Structure 1
């Protein structure tokens, strides 16, 4: 049986029609195991032959699925069965990840593979002006790729995000009760799907990153901010408030935090904190993480010590969280990890030294590497597409 993941891992309160449910089940089977013949789909999701055939035809008409006759197996008993697979050639999802200092715009195909991307400084100023600026950049970005039809725009960011109401509170951006989804929809004329960056990253791992979905996954992220997301039984946990905020988790360091305490995790390992430490130590002249990595690559022992210490601190924090939650799998993401793979052994040693549970497998690194923000933003659209393909694409056709 196939598992259908609702957008962002959250149950949609609207009642789904039987056609929509069946279409999502068929599409999910193809996403997970395609190319598949219609008969193979029928066996995987226990729908009747006519139902599967109708849904496949509809999905082909919508441009989500295509037949792949070159993979037809001849010589078997009965009529050859033409497989179908996700059509990666026509439709795409656009995603925008708004970070504290950097914003990433991406375009991904229906299997979550990044086709194009660009990175710009996060626009300052009032949120309305910032979103207008981003809308201009999105329109220009999509105009350069006319061969792809974008089914929507995914907007993801940190802070406190309410996907249902489309509202963002992000203290570090100066955004307070900003109706980000509505503002960006009006500015671009396209449907916008809003989500928090950590839930979107965890959903990307579930849909496209893991070859086999374990029962539970702890996703750990570190760059300018730190956070976690938890998936159990194929569903993303969402608390009523700031679930996943671990900025003030005790990291065991002597680094002062703006909150007034000492040793908070984000103050110890964030990109901003690390480059400030390197400048104070005279390792680099300017607070630029690229300079710190370059110094370490050139053999500067001070740069190497700073990055290794950060990796060990992250490993210790991951061990604490792993011991509390005890997931089947821990996945690491964010440039604090993916841009410092040469210090991955330090991180894993920090993890091994502090975990108390037996049988701990070392944490895995996201397969998306430094593209994780862009892929996650695109996934906030693709999760809706896979959950409600008929609703999403029928709505687009009515607008076009």
Structure 2
């Protein structure tokens, strides 16, 4: 097929993304190996490698040339992880986390603040100020943009955010943060961002289907098939009102909804009513359980069991190859994980209860996931995003 001038930019971008993707997954690779993995011709591989090296995404590693090899095409090419970084901002109900990650998703630094109150505009201006100060401390890296992740209803295409818990409605969050920082901003739902982090840097490359389940102050789920997230009309679905039993009253008027049952605040408020703690703070409940308080331990065990029942129901509905769990409601009281897994095994009706794993992205999951949203765009459109970042820096 003859390429038209209109078609070339799209083909060039796709070829650059293909080369970057295979090196990220398999590298370091020689040019010949890149061609074998991608199916691209050697001249095309050479052009794309040169372009990606020119912008600083790739570099040659002569020290890795196999002994006895002759000729430049055998020099391995790998990601250059020393030049660029992605910033990530995760806006939670109570805590906002921000960080900086390299091209491998390794978190270089992170920080958190209480999520500001007041109007969305004031809150985002405050967050932007903190992020600018944070990035000045990492002046040695070229920041390609900001991945903004949040709960609520997210319109990624328009950069709009509706977050009922924060009182935000149709907020142009991406544009506000872009204007305040001067950097390209990509907005995504926080559960989708965390699932993308698993796809890029966790279980994703090893399984054909993955169900990601998140629980903290809110709950969420994302399904990925063949390395791509399923995104239905209007964004992701919701499991907040999945009926799992119990007497917790939900704002929807029902009882036993998942989110109302397992949210940090629900558990903490129950601990206050039981006289375990004086303040509705989940950290105090965990501390009381570690000191041996039986009531606190039972509250956390009950929550873990409710989470396990929910995961079991969802596993049966989607039947994925792997279920990955994330969020502090699961990872912080790690001693309650057996309660969750036991409830899961008692709930699922499908064979094989050993498909559940806890994310390995660690306690800075939110910041890493937010960074990953931007890294995902970089890997899919490397030359375009870097061009946008350069234009923003020039202004």
Normalised by the length of structure 2, the TM-score is: 0.95
In the alignment, structure 1 segments of 5+ residues that lack a partner are 1-13
Do residues 213 (structure 1) and 218 (structure 2) align? no
Deviation, structure 1 residue 213: 3.5
In the alignment, structure 2 segments of 5+ residues that lack a partner are 1-6
Deviation, structure 1 residue 16: 5.8
Please say if residues 216 and 233 of structure 1, whose CA atoms lie closer than 8 Å, have aligned partners that are also in contact.
yes
Question: Structure 1 CA distance, aligned partners of 2:204 and 2:193?
Answer: 18
Please say if residues 74 and 80 of structure 1, whose CA atoms lie closer than 8 Å, have aligned partners that are also in contact.
no
Question: Structure 2 CA distance, aligned partners of 1:259 and 1:64?
Answer: 49
Deviation, structure 1 residue 378: 0.4
Question: Structure 2 CA distance, aligned partners of 1:157 and 1:102?
Answer: 11
Do residues 50 (structure 1) and 43 (structure 2) align? yes
- Corresponding residue for residue 369 of structure 1: 362
Deviations 1:47-84 (A, max 9, x none): 11121111111111111112222222112466682211
Find the residue that maps to 1:17 and give its secondary structure: helix
Which of 356, 378, 384 is the aligned partner of 2:377? Answer: 384
Question: Structure 2 CA distance, aligned partners of 1:330 and 1:316?
Answer: 13
1:66-85 correspondence runs (5 A): 66-76=59-69, 81-85=74-78
Find the residue that maps to 2:210 and give its secondary structure: strand
Deviation, structure 1 residue 257: 1.7
Deviates more, 1:275-284 or 1:140-149: 275-284
Do residues 134 (structure 1) and 127 (structure 2) align? yes
Deviations 1:267-312 (A, max 9, x none): 1111111111111111222222222222222222222111111111
Do residues 121 (structure 1) and 114 (structure 2) align? yes
The two structures, once aligned, show a CA RMSD in angstroms of 1.6
Deviations 1:144-173 (A, max 9, x none): 110111100111101110000111111111
Deviation, structure 1 residue 395: 2.5
Question: Structure 2 CA distance, aligned partners of 1:369 and 1:274?
Answer: 23
Deviations 1:21-61 (A, max 9, x none): 11000000011111111111111111111211111111111
Do residues 90 (structure 1) and 83 (structure 2) align? yes
- Corresponding residue for residue 277 of structure 2: 284
Per the alignment, do residues 260 and 79 of structure 1 end up closer, same or farther by CA in structure 2, a change over 3 Å counting? closer
Aligned residues: 387
Per the alignment, do residues 311 and 142 of structure 1 end up closer, same or farther by CA in structure 2, a change over 3 Å counting? same
Do residues 102 (structure 1) and 95 (structure 2) align? yes
Question: Structure 1 CA distance, aligned partners of 2:324 and 2:29?
Answer: 29
Deviates more, 1:62-71 or 1:324-333: 62-71
- Corresponding residue for residue 220 of structure 2: 227
Find the residue that maps to 1:253 and give its secondary structure: coil
Please say if residues 154 and 189 of structure 2, whose CA atoms lie closer than 8 Å, have aligned partners that are also in contact.
yes
Please say if residues 100 and 107 of structure 2, whose CA atoms lie closer than 8 Å, have aligned partners that are also in contact.
yes
Deviates more, 1:318-327 or 1:52-61: 52-61
1:1-400 correspondence runs (5 A): 17-76=10-69, 81-210=74-203, 212-241=205-234, 243-399=236-392, 400=394
Please say if residues 348 and 362 of structure 1, whose CA atoms lie closer than 8 Å, have aligned partners that are also in contact.
no
Question: Structure 2 CA distance, aligned partners of 1:259 and 1:79?
Answer: 65
Please say if residues 278 and 292 of structure 1, whose CA atoms lie closer than 8 Å, have aligned partners that are also in contact.
yes
